Amino acid sequence: MAEAAVTTAPATEAERELTDGFHLVIDALKLNGINTIYGVPGIPITDLGRMAQASGIRVLSFRHEQNAGYAAAIAGFLTKKPGICLTVSAPGFLNGLTALAHATTNCFPMIQISGSSEREIVDLQQGDYEEMDQLAIAKPLCKAAFRVLHAADIGIAFARAIRAAVSGRPGGVYLDLPAKLFGQVMDADAGRKSLVKVIDPAPAQFPAPAAVRRALDVLRAAKRPLIILGKGAAYAQADDTIKSFVEKSGAPFLPMSMAKGLLPDTHPQCAGAARSTVLKDSDVVMLIGARLNWLLSHGKGKTWGEPHSKKFIQIDIEPKEMDSNVEIAAPVVGDVGSAVSALLDGMGGNWPAPPADWIKAVTSKREENISKMAPRLMNNNSPMDYHGALGVLRTVVKERPDAILVNEGANTLDLARGIIDVYQPRKRIDVGTWGVMGIGMGYAIGAAIETGKPVLAVEGDSAFGFSGMEIETICRYNLPVCVVVFNNDGIYRGTDVNKASSDPATTVFVKGARYDRMIEAFGGVGVNATSPDELKRAVNAAMDSGKPTLINAVIDPAAGSESGRIGNLNPQSKLAKK
Ligand SMILES: Cc1ncc(C[n+]2csc(CCOP(=O)(O)OP(=O)(O)O)c2C)c(N)n1
Ligand SMILES: [Mg+2]
């Protein structure tokens, strides 16, 4: 069919209006309201980027595809529309693939569009320029993968890709576009007709009424209820419904890191500062868009107060999520918005408050932990420790609740997650399910572009290194991003010593490095901050000016701990370490 459209022309090419693969790709994106592309140019997609830019699409060129991919992934999370990452064949494709897999693992809708080399040569393995069977490699790492060979199929391919990315549980989609496709010419009118505007790309999925009743029965009978909000709840953009439900239930709630701010961390029901108490002592736990994976100790063991058992209620769009780790007493399968609104309706007018002794126990634990922490956050030590530096950033965010906080590292991540309160939904974005390093600058750029809000990126010095070159991109597009590098001279700590040779130890970096000087090379503002007071002045100035800024925050190299809060995951041997 596609061949016929291309070759059986009633008139000469000069006489009729034509279109080509380049334009059909751009038109397919625009028709579906996709206005931004994150990528790296090169053969065979350089002209596609140019033409897309000329047509009014915002095309952001990065220095490495992985960072473009992370920008696209977070764009998907923030907007519920697939973020687009555009890559060149083989190496560029592979560079983007980590981000595509990350998007899939984290349930963010994203489409990686990659150019690829000549099929005939690739399939015969004759050594083409950047030869690689990209479709086969992408398939196991994403939700769906498609290849388009004919210009007339571009419309339907994009429709499939968009639907696959955003419907059901969102995820990454790969779209393989061989070089030849772009130059294929066809009748413009037939081309227009071949495009598909996706109607209702993420249809609401209502839970069964019986499942809703069962869930409410379990919740009503709870003596010590707990609600856990995951990033699926943040993704849903059902903020008012979720807030009403949580408040009506009266139960303490625990936000996972990217669900912070759905209700403010300062909300009276927030149990963030009493995490271990609520996990251990609750009797009924309702999970809303949160999975019982490693981040929640798989729903079992000491963390959960075993041998005492609990009942779980789980809301998830993916039926297979139920019973993934432990028995789910009340599965509610549906999209978070529809499910929570059905629960809210089902609660009626006189929902009983949870027993007062439970609320009191959680509140007093929370107050106790908060007041224990308070003095540490006010120290003005130089070099700084994490608490002194984070105490400052906590105030910066409190004063600018609409700023977006990007966070990665080990100690820098774990401590910032606990210390910096978040006040609005989708204002904290971080390493996600994998605890991956490298999301920093891609997320910062994606968040600034998609929301127009100022961004504060709180980065371990190691974490920053994975995407650090993108500060040129931040300067080039003049984005309101303030990067604070927590420079403790290394991974976890800067104090390790190699006893065997003159090589530095594996976890340490150049002592006293000045990351602030990097951004000056591109015209940004660099500041070296050695005390909380200096840090405060620099961050406030950056956030107020909106100028691309990098602050080298000098942290005591001995302040951190191995792997931050997850040192227990390091394998141990009975044999002594050498
Ligand atoms: C892609 C990737 N590579 C490696 C790691 C292992 N890793 C975990 S945290 C970390 C860096 C921690 O150091 P830093 O960012 O400086 O934070 P700090 O604890 O020093 O504050 C590394 C390399 C990872 N999580 N992801
Ligand atoms: Mg470090």
Look at residue 577 in the predicted model and tell me its pLDDT.
76
CA quadruple 257, 261, 262, 263: dihedral positive or negative?
Answer: positive
Nearest CA to ligand 1 atom 4: 437
Neighbours of ion ligand 2 (CB under 5 A): 460-461, 488
Report yes or no: 82 and 142 within 8 Å, Cβ to Cβ.
Answer: no
Residue 492 in contact with ligand 1 by CB distance below 6 A:
yes
Query: Is the distance from the beta carbon of residue 436 to the nearest atom of ligand 1 less than 6 Å?
Result: yes
Could you say which residues of the chain have pLDDT below 50? 1-5
Task: Tell me the C-alpha distance between 232 and 106, whole Å.
Answer: 9
Integer-rounded Cα Rg, in Å, for the chain is 25
524 CA from centroid of ligand 1 (Å): 25
Separation of 99 CA from ligand 1 center, angstroms? 17
In this prediction, residue 83 carries a pLDDT of 98
CA-closest candidate to residue 458, choices 412, 511, 492:
412
The pLDDT score that the predictor gives to residue 19 is 98
Residue minimizing CA distance to atom 9 of ligand 1: 410
pLDDT at site 3: 46
Contact partners, residue 269, CB within 8 Å, separation at least 6? 246, 247, 250, 251, 252, 253, 263
Q: Report the nearest-CA residue for atom 14 of ligand 1.
A: 460
Q: What is the pLDDT of residue 16?
A: 79
Mutate to test the pocket of ligand 1, among 462, 506, 507, 569 (most ligand atoms within 8 A of CB): 462
Cα–Cα distance measured from residue 192 to residue 51, given in angstroms and rounded to the nearest whole number: 17
**CA 411 to ligand 1: nearest atom:** 19
pLDDT digits (tens, 9 = 90+) for 182-235: 999 999 999 999 999 999 999 999 999 999 999 999 999 999 999 999 999 999
Of all protein residues, the one whose alpha carbon is nearest to atom 8 of ligand 1 is 410
Q: What is the Cα–Cα distance from 215 to 314, expressed in whole angstroms?
A: 8
Cα–ligand 1 centroid distance for 431 (angstroms): 10
Both tokens of residue 362?
């959680």
- Atom nearest to 465 CA in ligand 1: 15
CA of 562 to the centre of ligand 2 (A): 10
Does residue 403 line the site of ligand 1, with CB under 6 A?
no
Query: How much is the pLDDT for 4?
Result: 46
Separation CA 254–CA 204 (nearest Å): 26
Closest approach atom of ligand 1 to CA 386: 21
The CA 437 to ligand 1 mean position distance, Å, reads 6
Given the structure tokens 């956030």, which residue do they identify? 543
* Ligand 1 midpoint to CA 204 (Å): 38
DSSP state of 402: T
Nearest to 271, CA basis, from 251, 285, 288, 257: 251
CA of 460 to the centre of ligand 2 (A): 5
For residue 413, give the H/E element and its range: helix 411-419
Q: 229 CA to middle of ligand 2, Å?
A: 29
Q: Is the minimum distance from the CB of 460 to ligand 1 under 6 angstroms? A: yes
Counting from 1 in the atom list of ligand 1, the atom nearest the Cα of 463 is 15
Token pair, residue 549, equals: 């800024």
CA distances from 171 to 259, 288, 296, 432, 547 (A): 18, 18, 21, 14, 33
Query: Which tokens is 184 given?
Result: 């294929």
Provide φ and ψ at 294, rounded to 5°: -60, -30
Q: How far is the CA of 17 from the centre of ligand 1 (A)?
A: 55
Q: Does residue 508 have its Cβ closer than 6 Å to ligand 1?
A: no
Pocket lining: 409 vs ligand 1, CB cutoff 6 Å? yes
Q: Which long-range contacts link 572-577 to residues 24+ away (Cβ below 8 Å)?
A: none
What is the structure's pLDDT at 2? Answer: 46
Determine if ligand 1 sits within 6 Å of the CB of residue 461. yes
Q: Are 488 and 555 in contact (CB under 8 A)?
A: yes
pTM of the shown model: 0.96
**Which ligand is nearest the CA of 70, by number?**
1
> Is the CB of 491 within 6 Å of ligand 1?
yes
Q: Is 438 in the pocket of ligand 1 (CB under 6 A)?
A: yes
Per the structure block, which two tokens stand in for 293? 């994976």
6 touches 184 (CB < 8 A): yes
212 pocket-lining for ligand 1 (C-beta < 6 Å):
no
Q: Is the CB of 560 under 6 A from ligand 1?
A: yes
CA-CA-CA-CA dihedral for 19, 24, 30, 36, to nearest 10: -120
Measured in Å, residue 411 CA sits from the centre of ligand 1 at 9
pLDDT of residue 15: 59
* Helices within 167-225 (DSSP H only): 179-183, 188-194, 209-220
Establish whether residue 486 lines the binding site of ligand 1, counting it when its CB lies within 6 angstroms of any ligand atom.
yes
Smallest Cα–Cα separation from 486: which of 423, 535, 449? 535
pLDDT attached to residue 576 = 80
* pLDDT at site 375: 95
Residues 488-529: tens digit of each pLDDT: 999 999 999 999 999 999 999 999 999 999 999 999 999 999
